[in-house]
């Protein structure tokens, strides 16, 4: 069943390649996504035991990320059918294939216990997303694609060196190099500290670049700003979470080593706070609303890093936030894609009164903004509250204080862009567009918004158990 | 055999410096190819012979010595450029920086103890020096192709270190890493073609529409 998770999207990609018709081709996406989400549901309920070699095992951490990716992809897949019907002038073959290959690679990331295989899958996600950022084929999007491809490739290259260092440290310790998680963790105490330290630094920088932690986030605003809305949603909710899972694996090894974890936590806290600070500064008066969402993503990977850096109770919050951030970013990117389509513009100079012109998309964008800034009753409020309260309980007053301060600044900065966009009267002098809110472009994000609301009000029991199991793997006593 | 391996590693570091000093793109591409071939030969010198090892050697030489250089020179031909013009930092200063980085990598390597059978080999300093050279090319040159070359040099640096582990690494992971690299370069080649069509040049300093005001 785990193989199906990887192979099914690849078969879908093959179908997308073969189908000649531009209208029929996007239909492959929802078909694959539906089967994928059924598979995910079955696997969450009853995951197979680790494979004999120990390479493949869907552990609770992998399950949380898989759940997020599968949900997000399903929503994006249905949305894509509606979205691409407006873009018939362009061939969508590469887009459909890229999305499916990326889904397969993301699935591999979640089920593997071998850090080398994880690296290969993560690099595949980077390469398969590059042509999708270039979907609009103009000067701005080629610039964004170039920056994304080069920076992420370099970052992930550094992570490879970190992995090799890690493998070599096991070779020095007991002449049997391995990159499997279980043996790495059991022998972590015997590893040479110098090698382990070097490995940790390279891995953090490498995967941090891919995740977009400041100050390694330079590619993010451009790529998110120029990519179509649904690609942005998958970048912000899918790829970010895959990179975060890679960092969680490093965290597990550092935790098992006993000594390296102190440094790793400090580094994560530092990078997390810097990310939030960067986001707070650049979010203010950001005229381009897609770039604003990119900075919001920088802020939220910062929150994830802080949750991980604080440890203890905050780990539950961080894992929950991974899910919440992914889904909420999905709502925001998809609805902003609709608004972009309707106004043919993505700056707040032109886009005004979205609630009047596009009641559904504008409303969803507003609701997404309220959710992502951490207002009740939506689920990001719960996860952010868990992290910040854990900071104060454990006596990290500075971290908790700064966290709250940045949240407030980000809220104000984001409100200054979002409120004028959705409120007021739409400008009268812009050309009418062929875009109007339809079931397929509004239904999927609306469905996701409902999930966020339900998770905030009444998180289902299986999810809570899953999150507790996940936090236990990161060293929290259940 | 170890002495010969060390000589080859010194050659790798010298090629780094050659690459920092030249403005001719075709020459840089050939230098990277030579570096790739050396990296392909090296594992045979430090590990006992096996089928796995022979396969790695062949694939590495094919990928890094033939296919990737071909892909990049193809992009150069299509974009019709020969030279890197006006790098952000001149050739002499980057050469000096490269020398400093090489010295630094020897200091850094002192801190990381190798396993007894790899003692006295120059793998760690050669790897770090090549990695840093790649960075230097990547950050100081303007042309998109030079940046791809910089990325390749960086990857070469990583592979130099990986050679210590060729015996221990599963084939699947090695193959996956190489394949990803190949596809990555291929996609970069396509992007370069689009850049040259869109901007009538592949000068990345013209890529500046996306900025914070």
Q: What is the pLDDT of residues A419-469, one digit of tens each?
A: 888 887 887 777 777 778 888 889 999 999 999 999 999 889 999 999 999
Residues in contact with B200: Cβ distance below 8 Å, sequence separation at least 6, in sequence order: none
Q: In this predicted structure, what is the pLDDT of residue B212?
A: 61
Instruction: Give residue A12's pLDDT.
Output: 92
- pLDDT recorded at residue A103: 95
Q: What would you report as the CA-atom Rg of chain A, rounded to the nearest whole angstrom? A: 21
Mean pLDDT, all residues of chain A? 90
Instruction: Write down the H helix ranges in A228-259.
Output: 229-234, 240-257
Q: Does A140 touch chain B (CB under 8 A)?
A: yes
Q: How many CB atoms lie within 10 A of CB A294?
A: 29
Check A127 against B138: CB less than 8 A apart: no
Query: Distance from CA of residue B207 to its chain's centroid?
Result: 24
Contact A120 B144 (CB under 8 A): no
Flag if B180 and A168 touch (Cβ within 8 Å): no
Nearest-neighbour CA in chain B from A221: distance (Å):
9
Quote the pLDDT of residue B41: 87
The Cα A319–Cα A313 span in angstroms is 11
| Range with lowest mean pLDDT among A111-120, A172-181, A458-467 | A172-181
Mean pLDDT (chain B, rounded): 82
B162 touches chain A (CB under 8 A): yes
Q: Count the alpha carbons within 13 Å of B137 in the hemisphere toward its beta carbon.
A: 34
Residues A74/A37, Cβ–Cβ less than 8 Å? yes
The rounded distance, in Å, linking the Cα atoms of A155 and A203 is 9
| Distance from C-alpha of A82 to C-alpha of A77, rounded to nearest angstrom | 9
| Partner residue opposite A123 with nearest CB, options B144, B180, B198 | B180
How far apart CA B72 and CA B148 sit, in angstroms, is: 8
Contact A157 B154 (CB under 8 A): yes
A201 and chain B in contact, CB less than 8 A: no
Q: How many CB pairs under 8 A join A and B?
A: 123
Band the pLDDT of A35: cuts 50, 70, 90. Answer: very high
More confident site: B120 or A229: A229
Using DSSP's 3-state secondary structure scheme, residue B83 falls into: strand
Out of A146, A161, A222, name the one closest to residue B191 (CB).
A146
Q: Do A120 and B176 touch (CB under 8 A)?
A: yes
- pTM here is 0.93
From CA A20, how far away is CA A273, in angstroms rounded? 49
Interval A286-339: pLDDT, tens = 888 899 999 999 999 999 999 999 988 899 999 999 999 999 999 999 999 999
Structure tokens at A466: 């899953």
Phi, psi of A64 (to 5 degrees): -60, -45
CA distance A276 to chain B (A): 17
- What's the pLDDT score for residue B132? 92
Q: Over the stretch A276-288, which tens digit does the pLDDT of each residue have?
A: 999 999 888 788 8
**B212 to A282: CB separation less than 8 angstroms, yes or no:** yes
d(CA B151, nearest CA chain A) in Å: 7
Contact: B151, A153; criterion CB under 8 Å: yes
3-state secondary structure of A475: coil
């Amino acid at each position: 069943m785990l193989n199906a998770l990887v192979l099914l999207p690849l078969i879908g990609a093959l179908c997308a390649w073969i189908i000649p018709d531009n209208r029929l081709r996007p239909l492959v996406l929802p078909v694959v996504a539906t089967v994928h989400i059924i598979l995910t549901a079955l696997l969450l309920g009853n995951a197979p035991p680790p494979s004999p070699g120990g390479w493949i095992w869907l552990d609770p951490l992998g399950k949380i990320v898989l759940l997020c990716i599968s949900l997000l992809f399903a929503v994006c897949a249905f949305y894509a059918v509606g979205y691409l019907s407006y873009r018939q002038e362009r061939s969508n073959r590469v887009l459909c294939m890229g999305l499916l290959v990326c889904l397969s690679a993301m699935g591999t990331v979640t089920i593997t216990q071998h850090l080398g295989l994880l690296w290969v899958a993560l690099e595949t996600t980077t390469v398969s997303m590059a042509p999708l950022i270039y979907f609009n084929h103009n000067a701005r999007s080629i610039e964004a694609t170039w920056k994304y491809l080069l920076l992420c490739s370099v970052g992930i290259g550094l992570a490879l060196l970190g992995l090799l260092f890690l493998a070599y440290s096991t070779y020095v310790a007991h002449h049997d190099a391995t990159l499997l998680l279980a043996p790495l963790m059991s022998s972590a105490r015997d590893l040479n500290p110098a090698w382990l330290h070097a490995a940790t630094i390279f891995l953090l920088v490498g995967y941090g670049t891919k995740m977009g932690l400041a100050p390694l986030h330079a590619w993010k605003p451009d790529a998110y700003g120029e990519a179509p809305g649904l690609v942005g949603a998958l970048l912000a909710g899918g790829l970010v979470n895959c990179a975060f899972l890679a960092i969680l694996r490093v965290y597990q090894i550092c935790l098992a080593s006993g000594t390296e974890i102190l440094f790793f936590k400090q580094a994560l806290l530092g990078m997390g706070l810097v990310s939030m600070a960067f986001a707070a500064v650049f979010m203010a008066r950001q005229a381009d609303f897609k770039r604003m969402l990119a900075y919001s993503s920088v802020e939220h990977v910062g929150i994830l890093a802080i949750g991980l850096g604080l440890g203890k109770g905050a780990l539950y919050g961080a894992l929950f936030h991974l899910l919440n951030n992914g889904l909420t970013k999905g709502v925001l990117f998809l609805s902003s894609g609709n608004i972009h389509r309707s106004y043919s513009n993505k700056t707040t100079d032109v886009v005004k009164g979205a609630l009047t012109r596009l009641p559904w998309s504008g409303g969803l964008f507003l609701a997404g903004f309220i959710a992502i800034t951490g207002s009740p009753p939506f689920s990001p409020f719960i996860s952010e509250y868990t992290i910040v309260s854990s900071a104060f309980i454990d006596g990290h007053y500075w971290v908790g204080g700064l966290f709250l301060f940045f949240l407030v600044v980000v809220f104000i900065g984001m409100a200054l862009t979002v409120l004028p966009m959705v409120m007021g009267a739409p400008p009268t002098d812009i050309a009418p567009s062929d875009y109007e809110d339809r079931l397929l472009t509004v239904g999927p994000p609306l469905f996701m918004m409902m999930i966020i609301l339900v998770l905030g009000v009444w998180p289902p029991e299986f999810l809570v158990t899953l999150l507790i199991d996940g936090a236990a793997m990161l060293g929290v006593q259940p | 055999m170890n002495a010969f391996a060390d000589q080859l590693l010194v050659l790798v570091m010298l090629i780094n410096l050659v690459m920092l000093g030249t403005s001719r793109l075709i020459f840089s591409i050939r230098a990277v190819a030579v570096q790739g071939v050396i990296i392909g030969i090296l594992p045979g010198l430090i590990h006992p012979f096996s089928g796995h090892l022979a396969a790695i050697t062949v694939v590495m030489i094919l990928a890094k010595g033939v296919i990737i250089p071909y892909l990049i020179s193809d992009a150069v031909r299509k974009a019709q450029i020969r030279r890197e013009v006006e790098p952000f930092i001149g050739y002499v200063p980057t050469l000096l920086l490269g020398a400093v980085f090489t010295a630094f990598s020897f200091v850094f390597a002192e801190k990381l103890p190798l396993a007894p059978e790899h003692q006295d080999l120059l793998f760690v300093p050669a790897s770090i020096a090549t990695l840093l050279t790649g960075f230097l090319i990547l950050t100081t040159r303007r042309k998109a192709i030079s940046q791809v070359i910089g990325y390749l040099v960086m990857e070469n640096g990583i592979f130099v270190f990986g050679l210590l582990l060729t015996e221990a690494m599963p084939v699947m992971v090695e193959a996956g890493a190489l394949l990803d690299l190949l596809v990555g370069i291929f996609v970069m080649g396509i992007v370069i073609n689009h850049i040259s069509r869109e901007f009538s040049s592949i000068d990345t300093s013209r890529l500046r529409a996306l900025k914070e005001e």
